[in-house]
Structure 1
């Protein structure tokens, strides 16, 4: 047996997760090199993937897609986005003397009072029923072309990843985690850099579509850790690696605005130039990380390159593997449950910054900070889900992992619904408090999901990991097209989305395996894998 820096089982998988034990050569410590390699690569991929989300209004302004750019208020005073507009900071409305309604539809602004019209001191704007000075620099509220462009680009960014994640089930088996991860980052680097050339809505959506391919690095992240860590710690290892990778989605909300864009504009750079230059930074980081993976990491504990025999698979990878895996309804339930948690996180990464900027009318830095708080919960929340899954597994057996999954999804749905009840008449910290609770359970559910995945079909681990990961992106596409894009209301989409999450949470009793048990029943038989896990419990 090799002289590893970590304690290992008979398969050379680590039975512990000492985060700071990073010493030794790649032969001595392949486990933690793989762990940190998967974390940093996925973190940067997430950062680049959603780098354009907090910059959405800057992009819209640069390509003249704001409502008040396309339809100047002086020429189009009756645009619905204007008639509904109210400044939360000043309390002033575009319709400064009231609104004219036909049922629930606002048709015009009320006429100017006679005393104002006759006043010699009243300004020209005061003598108009419309107050265009109240409008934001970029009006991009629900129902505008601008908002639709940002929503469509957000859907494109997560849609492409579905196909790439599915393909990785075979590609990982053929080329191994290191080669796949380095290739995804290199490809992603080109398209992140190309974002600096966005000039129209069509290439904005196209570039976000191709950048989305980098999001498939999650599948490698989970598959790689599953090759390196034993069953007793796999929930914690997978959840921590993915959670700290997902942290990039929160960091990018703050990093792109407060660290890059705002300092650049403060130094005198034009806003149109600043956001374009800012996009070059994650592209460069992608290339550096890809090179480090190739030079410093191995695919498995004992081999530089992966071989399918490591997972107990005796046949070559093929497309039929996907048919075999999808014929298991339990895998399909897990795919959709993951769409309800990771898909929700992706949807929030696309929605929150713009939601806070347009609905709560916050400035870019404040909106990105609140949106970033959602992703920053990944610092511990996803790990907490994995740890909870491992602890309940220790005391309740495999059904403990299923209960952890159900409870996380259940409370995710509750707090998502509550977030959809927070309107802009309430203080921002109310939205933040609910958002933090909501985020906690979203990320816990992601961690509990991949506490179950490695046990579902071990020979087809790569394919199962890929399909479940793709389910997360499918959930984001469903949310974008079915909830956030078509519903002309700032809060109702969150409430409807909560119902979607609750539906899939209630299907948790569908999980049952003879060798593992189910939500309400123990196993009928005990496998060697479970015995090994029991023996390594401490």
Structure 2
């Protein structure tokens, strides 16, 4: 159609991605409206989804769940969390004269004060225990406080698994605009309800329901796949999702440095400040949902989606999921996505608390470092999509598979390296490794959805939903199997790296007769069509 603002192919899908060409009515420019609506809605969903993560210690303090609130040092001086504690700024330890260790090298008490210090020492030197060196909220590994935050983090990503799976059918029945608006409206209620958190059970419950907003990712990818042609689909999907994921990094800084700290500095009590701060993303959810409903279309030529657009002739049913899951390549992609997007979700939950408790950084500094991980989405996921499209252009479909493998491989390497950075090293060492780790995590997410649109044309919504759910499954696996049970601040990162490497090495499982595989070209060549047009039949 000549009145589109973008160049399109015979299916009215855009063959270009001009980010700033946003002019025109919805009939003239449905493609970029969909792109920006899917991006902004997913960005805000991420912002609200992880808004409580950087505020974890403030929330724990409000509920009285810190180790030194549950177990006052005057009554429980021998708590393991205290015996292990060392203040990194002052260099002072809770045990002034060292720890008493059992046969397994676990601390059981502090060494008694030497006799000469009892006789001639100062008041400070006569102390066996030094509670003054402890943080305001002790929430280190192994405490119930840390376990509570970890459990809530797992709940926040677990709920999204089920919603993402359900979206495969819901998108086909109601279309991207209705589904995305509905998810944001539902999420807005629970983000606002976070202001009423009063106990661990409702903290976990509210994070569980807020997590449903994370399913907006499936709509994000499906909607872009309806709007953009194969030659730019990798870039479009990666950029829309990457800039959406950017919300996970922005929220680390936004909630602390833009909302919480200024509120406290203005005289508001910390317990009130974090609660008021949670209302802000809830309002943004509602504004975005209403705007999307009024201004966007599901497809280039129709306000509402019809399954016939993807070539599907049957009505959506639950059996579609069974048919898709019979394909081992889909299962591998689900688990590979669990190893990249699942890792990002796990980091969004872990990093701020890790820097605050293990490196003992101030809230604003810890949130800035944790935010650096998510801020790499500004370009890293797009870089993955661009790399996938570029290699596809020059060496065919196998280029997309190699891009996927290499991204996951180096993600595993740098995740393992991050797990080797202890708190005796400067913070910038951790940041440097974190930047490279983040780069490859998000590139792998982009390369994943450079492959997804080609896997099963008729079941595109179902495949997108299942792979997206795989990302959340990875975060749950990481939370329950690596970060929650292992009583060590660094070992979980190293074990997690092994998980990523395992799935990276299964990339040779990808092979389609019409596309080829990692080491083989296609067995079936459509000679009558140029490469790019032939690819269109797979999307």
Distance 2:41 2:237 in 1: 14
Do 1:230 and 1:533's aligned partners in 2 also have CA atoms closer than 8 Å? no
What are the Cα deviations for residues 199-220 of structure 1, in whole angstroms up to 9, with x where unaligned?
0000000000000000000000
Q: Cα RMSD over matched residues?
A: 1.2
Aligned equivalent of 2:138: 139
Decide whether the 8 Å contact of 1:185 with 1:214 is kept in 2: yes
CA deviation after TM superposition for structure 1 residue 115, in Å:
2.1
| Contact 1:422 1:431 (8 Å CA) reproduced | yes
- Say yes or no: does 1:118 pair with 2:119: yes
Q: What corresponds to 2:377 in structure 1? A: 378
Moved over 2 A (4+): 526-531, 533-536
Residue 44 (structure 1) aligns with:
44
Report if aligned partners of 1:48, 1:211 keep a CA contact under 8 Å in 2: yes
Give runs of aligned pairs for residues 47-58 of structure 1, distance below 5 A: 47-58=47-58
Mapped partners of 1:510, 1:143: distance in 2: 39
In structure 2, the residue matched to 1:340 is 339
Q: Does 1:226 align with 2:228?
A: no
Q: State the distance in 2 between where 1:535 and 1:482 align.
A: 41
Give the alignment's TM-score, normalised by structure 1: 0.98
Distance apart, 1:116 and its partner CA:
1.7
Distance 1:69 1:258 in 2: 26
Q: Deviations over 1:179-224 (max 9, x none)?
A: 0000000000000000000000000000000000000000000000
Shift of 1:102: 1.1
TM-score, normalisation: structure 2? 0.98
Distance 2:322 2:531 in 1: 27
**1:73-472 equivalent positions in 2, closer than 5 A:** 73-103=73-103, 104-119=105-120, 122-123=122-123, 125-472=124-471
| Contact 1:224–1:299, Cα closer than 8 Å, also in 2 | yes
Superposed displacement of residue 526, structure 1: 3.2
Structure 1 residue aligned with 2:5: 5
CA positional deviation for 1:534: 7.2
Distance 1:457 1:389 in 2: 18
Are 1:489 and 2:488 matched, yes or no? Answer: yes
Are the aligned partners of 2:30 and 2:296 in contact in 1 as well (CA < 8 Å)? yes
1:408 Cα deviation (Å)? 0.1
In 2, the alpha carbon distance for the partners of 1:4 and 1:378 equals 29
SS across alignment from 2:148 = helix
Q: 1:532 corresponds to which residue?
A: 533
SS state at 1:459 partner: coil
- CA-CA distance at 1:3 after TM superposition: 1.0
CA distance in 2, matches of 1:164, 1:530: 36
State the aligned residue count.
Answer: 534
CA contact (8 A) 2:46 2:245 kept: yes
- What's 1:23 paired with? 23
Secondary structure (helix, strand or coil) at the match of 2:101 reads strand
1:79-132 Cα deviation digits (max 9, x unpaired)? 00000000000000000111111131111101112222112x622x53221000
Q: Quote the Cα distance in structure 2 between the aligned partners of 1:109 and 1:535.
A: 70
1:147 Cα deviation from its structure 2 partner: 0.2
SS, match of residue 279 in structure 1: helix
Summarize deviations over 1:267-310 as a string: whole Å, max 9, x none.
Answer: 00000000000000000000000001001100000000000000
- For 2:530 and 2:472, how far apart are their aligned partners in 1? 31
Asked whether the equivalents of residues 189 and 286 of structure 1 are also in contact (C-alpha less than 8 Å), the reply is: yes
Q: Distance in 2 between matches of 1:117 and 1:505?
A: 60
Deviation at 1:535? Answer: 9.9
Structure 1: state its 5+ residue gaps: none
Q: 1-side partners of 2:535 and 2:189: how far apart? A: 47
1:81–1:141: 8 Å Cα contact kept in structure 2? yes
User: Is contact 1:78–1:107 with CA below 8 Å preserved after alignment?
Assistant: yes
Partner of 2:33: 33
CA distance in 1, matches of 2:532, 2:479: 44
Using the alignment, how far apart are the partners of 2:241 and 2:49 within structure 1? 15
- C-alpha change, 1:488 and 1:185, in structure 2 (3 Å) is same
Partner secondary structure for residue 314 of structure 2: coil
| Structure 1 residue 533, shift from structure 2 partner | 6.0
2:238 and 2:381 in contact (8 A); partners too: yes
Asked whether the 8 Å contact 2:67–2:144 carries over to 1, the reply is: yes
C-alpha displacement of 1:531:
4.4
Task: State whether residues 230 and 532 of structure 2, in contact with CA within 8 Å, keep that contact through their aligned partners in structure 1.
Answer: no
- Unaligned 5+ segments in structure 2 are none
In structure 2, do the counterparts of structure 1 residues 382 and 360 end up closer, same or farther at CA, with 3 Å as the change threshold? same
User: Contact 1:231/1:529 (CA < 8 Å) preserved in 2?
Assistant: no
Secondary structure at the residue paired with 2:230?
coil
